[in-house]
Structure 1
Amino acid sequence: MASASTRENSGRVFNVVLIKPTHYDDQGYPIQWLRSAIPSNTLACMYGLAQDAARRQILGSDVELRLHTFDETNTRIRPKEIARMVREAGGDGMVCLVGVQSNQFPRAVDLARMFRAEGLQVGIGGFHVSGCLAMLPELPPEIREAQALGISIFAGESENHRFDGVLRDAFAHKLQPLYNYLDDLPGLEGEPLPILPRARVSRTMGKLSSLDFGRGCPYQCSFCTIINVQGRKSRFRNADDLERILRENQAQGVNRFFITDDNFARNAQWEQLFDRIIKLREEEGMFFGFTIQVDTLCHKIPNFIEKATRAGANRVFIGLENINPDNLIEAKKRQNKITEYRAMLQKWREHGAHTAAGYILGFPADTKESILRDIEIIKRELPLDILEFFFLTPLPGSEDHQRLLAKGVWMDPDLNKYDLNHRVTHHAKMSDAEWEDAYRSAWAAYYTDDHMKTVLRRSAVHGLRGIKSLRSKLLMFHIMIKYEGVHPLEGGALRLKFRKDRRPGMKLESPFVFYPRYAFKTLRNALGYWLTIRKFDRFMKEAVEAPDREAYTDRAVAPQSAEDFEDMALYHATTGGEAALARKKRDEAIRKGAAQKPADVIAPAAE
């Protein structure tokens, strides 16, 4: 537990308990780890806002606002113990379940029910409730049921002193059933900054924290909830905000961050932000490492990749989504141009950054055969390090969900499955079993021993600094899928399970069954981990010690030539690929023709 308070020895205490919930695995146990992989940015944002409210003494100068943060992915939540803590401090406070995604909503309500039974006030906010309110004509049953339990619902963002109002209402024991701020998205400049206490950060692998520089996205992807919750007009923090949060984190020994902006390349202030980080690194000797998310055209922005890597962006997540343009058009992701994929990935690689890409399985044109064909094309022709697979999922808050719901199409009623790792609807071409098998087969097809060797050899060409980090990331993905059965983004180190925390409605297992099985699986997985670690260490050693290390090349990393466009399967495996290549040739011919025209001929057109 991490906590903070406004002052010591105050007469009255109001406890604010901030909890980021996890969700259940297929056996009904919360997915928890001794160390989790991904920090929660919403928890960081809410902690920053609560700290600011405490400093301003919004409940009065005689009231101590005492803060507690929990991330359930790495901390067991014990409602009775938390309630006892609140009672011992005077009995006043509220529990905020924050950043709740659709797959986490059932767990959040189960926790809220236990807190309500202890007499505590409870609120739930996050993408599920915000997405439902943004896209559905009425509240869905699960939100109405939560309100019937006395749980307050918060939709929208909490900046601009909105959280102050919630805290004041809770202090007066007058929480409203619904706080809806979706129609009034706040600016971010000068707002309290996201930060997590070091004690909380230490529970993530690599002591990784998170922050956001901007929110919103201008694109229209039909599977996306961000555009409907955070808006399609981007809002940003400024360079002074950035410097303050970096210095505050540096002061507590935290310097590695996951930047949660959906698309940092569309941040209008990206250059000022990178320049400020570069100044701190090069003039003051401060070190920072970042993982950022960008689109597939970021390399077209002059100096973007150069300054990103110079600032410390050593890992990049790219929404590749698919290599079939017909699928991209179906999802309204028209900004992705497959003819730019290779050049973009090569440029990140040349500047020393590792690349990871999201890849969605289950678009209308997909079959198991086409999926596996496309993965082999990616392995052979694109210099990508990590590929993350997801089921095409109609998330509440997305256009896809809104459309299927309006048509009465079946969608799985269990929100716990809406984690992108489970099939929750049917496919037009594949049976349910075929689609699920295609998903499992995709992971197996990409993360083969031979391809892992190839990825490490590609990395070793550009020096040894980053190969250990890449090896660790590849290892993590391989282990989570093979041994833990969870998506790597939900993974961590040493799985924790607690017998009495099983999902309500599922039978509580006998301790004589639960504990021996848990111990056996933990030991079996530990052996599997050890063998896999040894194998990956051997792969890395081979890559580093290869006599032709610096001269290694293959189809994906070789300089791209005009001939490549004629014989690469990426452009010829689908009719959409052929059409994309034809458009590229046409556009290049037009540009070439324009460049050859005299200035006085093209000037009138420019006017």
Structure 2
Amino acid sequence: MDGSTDKQRLQLILIKPTHYDDDGYPITWLRSHIPSNTLAALYGLGDDCRRRQVLGPGVEIVIRPFDETNTRVRPDVIVRDLGRGGDRALVCLVGVQSNQFPRAVDLARQFIKAGLPVAMGGFHAAGCLSMLPVVPPEIQQAMDMGVSIFAGEAEEGRLDVVLQDAWNGRLKPLYNYMEDLPGIEGAPTPSLPPSALARNEGRKSSFDLGRGCPFQCSFCTIINVQGRKSRFRNADDLEAIIRENYRQGITSFFITDDNMARNRHWEEFFDRLIELKENEGIQASLIIQVDTQCHRIPNFIAKAQWAGVYRVFIGLENINPDNLLAAKKRQNKITEYRRMLQAWHTAGVSTWAGYILGFPGDTRESVLRDMEIIKKELPLDILELFILTPLPGSEDHQTLWKQGVWMDADLNKYDLHHRVVHHPRMSDEEFDRTYRDAWKAYYTPAHIETVARRHGAIAGRNPAEPAQFMTMFKIMFEAEGVHPLEGGIVRMKYRRDRRYGMKIEPWGLFHLRLAAETWRKLKIYGRLAWQGWRIGQKVKHDPRRLEYSDLALEPVAEEELDKLALFAETAGGEAAVVKKRGEDLARARAAVAHNQRLAAAE
């Protein structure tokens, strides 16, 4: 008998869960915008386990990845398929963030009921176990249900251990690796099969080149989950990732490093990408994340552009220095914002910035004032508004937990799009209204045209592109009621997938409501898409578009900085200018003294 027919099989089911909308239905799209890096990393690690035969030569590992943002996950169908083939399985719920935890548990409940072993990892479990002195009740309840919790990262053979334990029927309740974060240089290549990548809008993939962050932002979970000591891949790792995806026709990537500018190998990475482009015609299109000081690094922006970066995410966070200090975001200097954004704009790279509302010093008036300052004085394209949220795993959450301050018990709301605490200066209703109005204030037709004109003033740029993206953000917020970063193409909603404990609606009522909801959305889609298209075409075909300029694009002399509202009207803005002038004077004096010492030595 042929030995291959005697092989046993373990199906490794990798599921990146989504989370529920306000009505309790999973947020799933026909095509999703942002690919899952965790899913790609775990698939690569699983494939490495398969090649190394970690379960022995008589056991074949088959990996099945599911990204629930673009794929309906049917536990009943998965279980039925397993029964037909007689395979054993391990279900891994991967990359589970706090807002995805309820959905992950609901999926786990169904698999466990069918007798399958389930493991769960991600930022929620890792963050809670790293920052709290006790196991939170929702994690304990999941373990009591039979879910094995994995806290930490799965490189350096840790996935091997989980697979072997699952195969031998001795899966542990908890795998806690938070005190021993692995190196990632030379680690297996993150990848996904073509069938999974095809469900990402634009056929994008993602990977990381570094983990960890040296900063101390109190609202951040990364420093407590991935550590404050940075770990890196190398240029050979990058080339392997690019080539592996290139063979599948994937050339567009989201590099998920929290701050590419602080990756000490950034220049080696960009140089390798440039070499691949010039020598072999392998050209990658990249989205990266950077900090607000990246423009001060010599050649960083120029090389990023040449390496294929076309979009950057920037943690702007706020334009009020007092708010930044309160969150320990000391590395952000509002005196550098304009210069940094102007440098990216001149390079023709689209800028997308995260901006947080809900700091203790915020008021409705200050928030709406700041929206107008940003629109007028910063050459920024997409502004991503978030609510300041005490995410489990952050210092903010730890502090409020210790103080016994009320935080919403529904983890599904911890998506940075729902308020989960009370604001000290605004009522709940006023804060919620301010958050909605801030979105509306930034994404007006007039400002969409302004951003389009700023890009239209650059030769070779298509001003219809930023108009399209800004319109898409506006549509997601107004029509779909989700944060635009959770958006996608064509929302999919299934009656029986509703959140555990919520009533399953009758067939007729569900579809009647769905039809009415779809008709309402289509009207919004049509109106806003037509509006955005007209703005883009208007600017694109303006014969004088290259002559356009405005305050955000113009350089401002150092001695005139305090004339800008960015510094004159924000909380702490004037002090920031004074501090910068003092620092500049100190540097100038130091340079003069250095030159004098050199002259004396000669």
Structure 2 residue identity aligned to 1:180: N
2:450: which partner in 1?
454
2:91: which partner in 1?
95
Contact 1:343–1:560 under 8 Å retained in 2: no
1:407 partnered with 2:403: yes
Runs of 4 or more consecutive aligned structure 1 residues displaced over 4 Å after TM superposition: 7-10, 600-604
2:205: which partner in 1?
209
Contact 1:13–1:89 under 8 Å retained in 2: no
1:3: which partner in 2?
none
Alpha-carbon distance between aligned partners in 2 of 1:603 and 1:231, rounded to the nearest angstrom? 46
Where in structure 2 are the equivalents of 1:350-361 lying within 5 Å?
350-361=346-357
| Structure 2 gaps, min length 5 | none
1:394: which partner in 2?
390
Alpha-carbon distance between aligned partners in 1 of 2:307 and 2:423, rounded to the nearest angstrom? 43
Structure 1 residues 58, 469: closer, same or farther in 2, change over 3 A? Answer: farther
- Equivalent position SS for 1:33: strand
Structure 2 residue identity aligned to 1:375: M
Contact 1:352–1:466 under 8 Å retained in 2: no
2:192 to 193, 196, 200: 196
Alpha-carbon distance between aligned partners in 1 of 2:135 and 2:158, rounded to the nearest angstrom? 22
Where in structure 2 are the equivalents of 1:85-124 lying within 5 Å?
85-124=81-120
1:572 to 545, 568, 572: 568
**Aligned pairs, how many?**
599
- Equivalent position SS for 2:19: coil
| Structure 1 gaps, min length 5 | 1-6
Structure 2 residue identity aligned to 1:254: I
1:334 to 326, 330, 348: 330
Alpha-carbon distance between aligned partners in 1 of 2:594 and 2:184, rounded to the nearest angstrom? 47
Structure 1 residues 228, 544: closer, same or farther in 2, change over 3 A? Answer: same
1:505: which partner in 2?
501
Alpha-carbon distance between aligned partners in 2 of 1:580 and 1:220, rounded to the nearest angstrom? 20
2:150: which partner in 1?
154
- Bigger shift: 513-522 or 382-391? 513-522
Q: TM-score, normalised by structure 2?
A: 0.97
Contact 2:148–2:173 under 8 Å retained in 1: yes
1:590: which partner in 2?
586
1:281 partnered with 2:277: yes
Cα shift at 1:86 = 1.7
Where in structure 2 are the equivalents of 1:40-59 lying within 5 Å?
40-59=36-55
Contact 1:464–1:544 under 8 Å retained in 2: no
2:361: which partner in 1?
365
Cα shift at 1:561 = 2.4
Contact 1:10–1:63 under 8 Å retained in 2: no
Cα RMSD, aligned residues only:
1.5
- Bigger shift: 567-576 or 270-279? 567-576
Contact 1:10–1:64 under 8 Å retained in 2: no
The Cα offsets for residues 567-599 of structure 1, whole Å up to 9 and x where unpaired, read as 100011134101000011112222233334473
Structure 1 residues 560, 281: closer, same or farther in 2, change over 3 A? Answer: farther
Contact 1:32–1:74 under 8 Å retained in 2: yes
1:64 partnered with 2:69: no
Contact 1:291–1:317 under 8 Å retained in 2: yes
Alpha-carbon distance between aligned partners in 2 of 1:194 and 1:467, rounded to the nearest angstrom? 34
Contact 1:13–1:63 under 8 Å retained in 2: yes
2:417: which partner in 1?
421
Alpha-carbon distance between aligned partners in 1 of 2:581 and 2:316, rounded to the nearest angstrom? 22
Contact 2:40–2:192 under 8 Å retained in 1: yes
Alpha-carbon distance between aligned partners in 2 of 1:236 and 1:418, rounded to the nearest angstrom? 29
Alpha-carbon distance between aligned partners in 2 of 1:537 and 1:464, rounded to the nearest angstrom? 19
1:82: which partner in 2?
78
Cα shift at 1:505 = 1.5
Structure 1 residue identity aligned to 2:572: G
Cα shift at 1:466 = 4.6
1:313 partnered with 2:291: no
Structure 1 residue identity aligned to 2:313: F
| Percent of residue pairs identical | 58
- Bigger shift: 12-21 or 500-509? 500-509
Alpha-carbon distance between aligned partners in 1 of 2:41 and 2:522, rounded to the nearest angstrom? 35
The Cα offsets for residues 277-301 of structure 1, whole Å up to 9 and x where unpaired, read as 0111112111211110000000000
Cα shift at 1:62 = 1.2
Structure 1 residues 60, 458: closer, same or farther in 2, change over 3 A? Answer: same
1:37 partnered with 2:33: yes
